[in-house]
Amino acid sequence: MAMIRKRGRKWQAVVRRKGHSPVSKVFNQKADAVAWGRQKDAETDRAGVQVDTRELETTTVGDILRRYRDEVVARKRSQPVEDYVVSRLLRQPFSVLTLAEMSAAPFAAYRDRRARTVSGSTIRRELGILQHAFDIARREWAIPLTTNPIKDVKKPSPGRPRTRRLQEGEFERLVAACEECRNDLIEPFIRFAVETGMRRGEITRVRWEQIDLDRRTLHIPETKNGHPRTIPLTRGAVGTLRALDTLKSKRAFPLSDNAFKCAWRRLQARSGVRDFHFHDFRHEAISRFFEMGLSVPEVALISGHRDYRMLARYTHLRAEDVVAKLG
């Protein structure tokens, strides 16, 4: 793929192939540079330029994944999650294949194996990490891959977004089950989640210095989309914070993600509330905000959605509640 870069007021297209001298040309317009680069790439492919395969024969899929983990994933906010995924991928049979032996077939077989136990969305995320790793290897590490094998693997359908909301009595059962928790923070944690719609990771990072109980606001400096936000707090959320006995800690909820995940699994088992994920509290909270009469911009201020259309994925109003408004 041709590299396009700006040189002063002009644009330069550079075509590099391993084992061959690079060719380049300067243009006044970026579009002309892009077109020329594509043309040169196509001409090179048609001419059947031989690629030096020695690197492909000595580099494995695992080598690419480990470098991707250390150089790319390490800079991401989602590092813990992607580290876990890469570790899983490194344990697969395809990780020992050399790039010269690689094809779409072993990745398609992995997709089919995973489809027996996980959702299509999970498989798509895992294949997405693989695809990005190979793209980075081609574009930035000068690995002489002619194709990205993951692009030839059919991705499973992501499935429909979850619409699960709390049914009558379920929240009370979850709270009652908290009495058997060894950690006193579990109950206020879930109460705060349903009052704010915040993600689990956002809640575990809340620091007292970010909270203004008098103004009922909370500043969230680190979010999933990278944009900090300050949200208003319900009276229920403020009451939960005031009742916390963690003022000596810098964090309002001094729990690790893993500690809460383990506690949440045990809590679900004791409560008997089935098929309710912790992230469903976010669905529940956002739906409640709309039922309170908040506008789309007001809910987006709390939830952090920058694209209002995305709110539709989390908003599931109950038909019976709308009927009451119709009169």
Which residue of the set 199, 200, 283, 288 is catalytic?
199
**Residues in contact with 210: Cβ distance below 8 Å, sequence separation at least 6, in sequence order:** 218, 219, 220, 221
Q: How many residues does the chain have?
A: 327
DSSP 24: E
125 is catalytic: no
282 is catalytic: yes
Q: Are 275 and 166 in contact (CB under 8 A)?
A: no
227 is catalytic: no
68 is catalytic: no
| Long-range contacts, stretch 306-314, CB < 8 angstroms, 24+ apart | 306/225, 306/227, 311/286, 313/161, 314/161, 314/197, 314/282, 314/283, 314/286, 314/287
Torsion of CA 41, 44, 49, 52, to 10 degrees: -20
CA 94, chain centre distance (Å): 24
Which residue of the set 69, 191, 282, 283 is catalytic?
282
Which residue of the set 111, 205, 288, 314 is catalytic?
314
Q: Are 280 and 263 in contact (CB under 8 A)?
A: no
20 is catalytic: no
How many Cβ atoms are within 10 Å of 119's Cβ, its own excluded? 14
**Residues in contact with 6: Cβ distance below 8 Å, sequence separation at least 6, in sequence order:** 12, 30
- From CA 38, how far away is CA 44, in angstroms rounded? 10
**Residues in contact with 136: Cβ distance below 8 Å, sequence separation at least 6, in sequence order:** 68, 72
Which residue of the set 138, 279, 313, 316 is catalytic?
279
- From CA 87, how far away is CA 20, in angstroms rounded? 36
305 is catalytic: yes
Which residue of the set 77, 224, 265, 277 is catalytic?
224
Q: Is 304 in a helix, a strand, or coil?
A: coil
Residue whose tokens read 């490194």? 90
Active site residues: 199, 224, 279, 282, 305, 314
